Amino acid sequence: MVFPLQVTGAETRRRGKVLVGPVSLHLAGVGATVVIGPNGSGKTSLLGLLHGTARLHAGTIAWQLPMDQARAVQSFVFQRPVMLRRSVVDNIAYPLLIRGLPKAKAMAQALDWAKRVGLGDMPYRAAPSLSGGEQQKLALARAFITAPQVVFLDEPCASLDGRATAEIEAILQDQKAQGTRLVMSTHDMGQARRLADEIVFLRGGQVHETGPAAQFFDAPQTDAARAFLNGDIVE
Amino acid sequence: MVDLWDGLTQAFWLVLTGDPELAEIALRSLYVTLTALAIACVIAFPLAAFLAVRRFRFRRLIIAILNALMGLPPVVVGLIVYVLLSRSGPLGVLGLLFTPTAMIIAQVIIIVPLIASIAHQSLRDLWQEYHDLLISMNVSQRQKMRTLIWDARRALLTAALAGFGRGIGEVGAIMIVGGNIDNVTRVLTTAIALETGKGAFALALALGFVLIALTIAINLTIHWLGQTEREGRW
Ligand SMILES: Nc1ncnc2c1ncn2[C@@H]1O[C@H](COP(=O)(O)OP(=O)(O)OP(=O)(O)O)[C@@H](O)[C@H]1O
Ligand SMILES: [Mg+2]
């Protein structure tokens, strides 16, 4: 198990500008952590930092495994899904093929996952030709097929309609119930309430408030969190 | 003065009667250039992919050099290969001068930079697209390169066609290293040069039309092969 995760004073910069940090967090091994905060508050940067794809300029990120091994049991679903120029099943099978699984086996599993996320009737379509919602579902299938311990999701339902969002949330709930640890960002407070066990509220690249979801939504501790939940503009 | 019509009719008859000499020369042209093309692709595609995914110190410099080499004068390449392969040259013991192999070597040198440069453009763009995903998946350098080459295969086909075009029409280098020897190293372009020199314009033109027809046929064939994977479905 790669959890618990201990983050201490972690920071990532770009050309001298701090994108997020210093951040200190402790993430335990179960449930869903939802990162919220205004646009540009550093949600994407924080997820990348935890996943090890954003450069760590200061502080430490301590999984129970070395960073590269930790990443092998993680998946990342991007804010803008990346579609390989291949068919739907070839996309979903890709992480298995990378891990050296025999092609036939990988394809069978990929087809299975395509059905589970509702892409069963278009397994050989070119992935880049899918709609936004379908691409996001493909990205989910590709993320979950390796049975990762942690899945990072960066606004997985941004720009999707209510129905697509509900379908994706159902997949996420299902995976969560099976013990996959979710760490996701969203700007949809309804979604945060439905999925989160724990909230990390970012503001200006820093963790402004964090705690159990129920507590955060019922009794936010800071003015900024209260204002943000009210839908007021928070810088 | 001959007109183009003479050349065209003569080309027509040469092809129609299945002129054995023409067939031999045309096949040798294809053999030399297609072999050179295959070797060049094996070198150029991985090189282009490597330059796309790997950051290292002289990367930009190498890419700039590669781009510059696209305009490499074939005559100079021929001369250098000639010097290397000539009996007193460092590779003289191989006895390759004035053989089709020497011509293939020269053509590989001429078309590798062209194919690698064009391929690099598309692989670099694709890498921009794939970067975050493949980094997130801990994909090894080798796998990155393989993924890019496979997923960009159509663009790479275009790069290969450009290389084929440059090779099949090339005359300067293969004239020098091949020597345009009848039955041994004579190909369409060198035959055209020879016939033109002799004043046999109609024959030269006929060979020219055959060369053009051949080029178009190969292009269409490869294009068609690429099309069998239709857009929208893989
Ligand atoms: N590659 C980059 N170069 C420069 N600045 C960047 C880069 N990526 C992000 N930033 C900046 O870092 C800050 C945090 O960005 P980040 O993408 O993490 O925010 P976010 O909370 O995910 O925003 P959003 O809700 O819009 O997705 C922003 O001010 C952004 O402009
Ligand atoms: Mg973001």
pLDDT tens-digit series, residues A58-82: 999 999 999 888 999 999 999 999 9
pLDDT at B73: 93
Helix ranges, chain B (H): 4-16, 20-53, 59-69, 74-85, 100-136, 141-151, 153-168, 172-178, 188-198, 201-227
Atom in ligand 1 nearest the alpha carbon of residue A46:
18
pLDDT for position B1: 54
Tell how far the Cα of A219 is from the centroid of ligand 1, in angstroms: 28
Determine the Cα–Cα distance for residues A155 and A141; give it in Å rounded to an integer.
16
Please count the residues of chain A. 235
Residue of A nearest to B149 (CA): A85
Q: In a 3-state reduction of DSSP, which class is residue B103?
A: helix
Scan for tokens 């003479």, then name that residue.
Answer: B6
Measured between alpha carbons, how far is B38 from B140 in angstroms, rounded to an integer?
26
A73 touches chain B (CB under 8 A): no
Q: Which of A13, A20, A41 to mutate to test the pocket of ligand 1 (most atoms within 8 A of CB)?
A: A41
Contact assessment for residue A79 and residue A91, using Cβ atoms and an 8 Å cutoff? no
User: What are the strands of the beta sheet with A5-14, ordered from one edge?
Assistant: A17-27, A5-14, A58-62
Closest in A51, A90, A124 to B136, CB measured: A51
Residue A128 alpha carbon to ligand 2 centre in Å? 21
Q: Do B136 and A90 touch (CB under 8 A)?
A: no
| Substitution target from A49, A83, A84 for chain B, most B beta carbons within 10 A | A84
CA distance A119 to A141: 10
- Report the separation in Å between the CA atom of A40 and the middle of ligand 2, taken as the mean of its atom positions: 7
**Residues above pLDDT 70, as percent of chain A:** 100
Per-residue pLDDT of chain A (235 residues; tens, 9 = 90+): 888 999 999 999 999 899 997 999 999 888 999 999 999 999 999 999 999 999 999 999 999 999 888 999 999 999 999 999 999 999 999 999 999 999 999 999 999 999 999 999 999 999 999 999 999 999 999 999 999 999 999 999 987 888 889 999 999 999 999 999 999 999 999 999 999 999 999 999 999 999 999 999 999 999 999 999 988 887 7
To the nearest whole Å, the CA of A39 is away from the closest chain B CA by 20
Q: What is the pTM of this model?
A: 0.91
Q: How many domains does chain B have?
A: 1
**In the prediction, which pLDDT does B11 show?**
84
- Any chain A CB within 8 A of the CB of B122? no
Alpha-carbon distance values, A106 to A112, A145, A230, B211 (Å):
10, 9, 46, 47
Query: CB–CB of B147/B48 below 8 Å?
Result: no
Residue-range definition of the domain harbouring residue B217: 2-233
Pick A95's closest partner by Cβ from B137, B152, B233: B137
Task: Name the residue among B55, B61, B62 with its Cα closest to residue B135.
Answer: B55
Cβ within 8 Å, pair B234-A126: yes
pLDDT of residue B124: 97
Please answer whether residues A91 and B199 qualify as being in contact, where contact means their C-beta atoms are separated by less than 8 angstroms.
no
- Around ligand 1, the residues with Cβ closer than 6 Å are A 14, 19-20, 37, 39-45, 79
**Using a CB-CB distance cutoff of 8 angstroms, which residues of chain A are in contact with residue B234?**
86-87, 90, 124, 126
Model pLDDT, residue B225: 79
| Sole residue written with tokens 């002289």 | B58
Tell me what ipTM this predicted complex has: 0.93
- Domain CATH number, residue B96: 1.10.3720.10
Q: pLDDT at position A219, please?
A: 92
Tell me, what's the pLDDT at B233? Answer: 52
**Alpha-helical segments (H) within chain A:** 43-51, 67-72, 88-98, 103-116, 132-144, 162-177, 189-195, 213-218, 223-229
Interface check A98 vs B, CB under 8 A:
yes
Assess A68–B contact: CB distance below 8 Å, yes or no. Answer: yes
Nearest to A50 by CA among A63, A64, A40: A63
A86 touches chain B (CB under 8 A): yes
Angle ∠(A105,A109,A114) on CA atoms, nearest 5: 145
- The residue ranges of chain B whose pLDDT is under 50 are 232
By the 8 A CB rule, do A96 and A106 touch? yes
Question: Quick check: bond before A22 cis, omega within 30?
Answer: yes
CA dist A202 → A12, A101, A197, A212, B60 (Å): 15, 39, 16, 15, 39
Domains and CATH numbers, chain A: 5-82+149-229 (3.40.50.300)
**Which residue, chain included where needed, has tokens 């991985």?**
B46
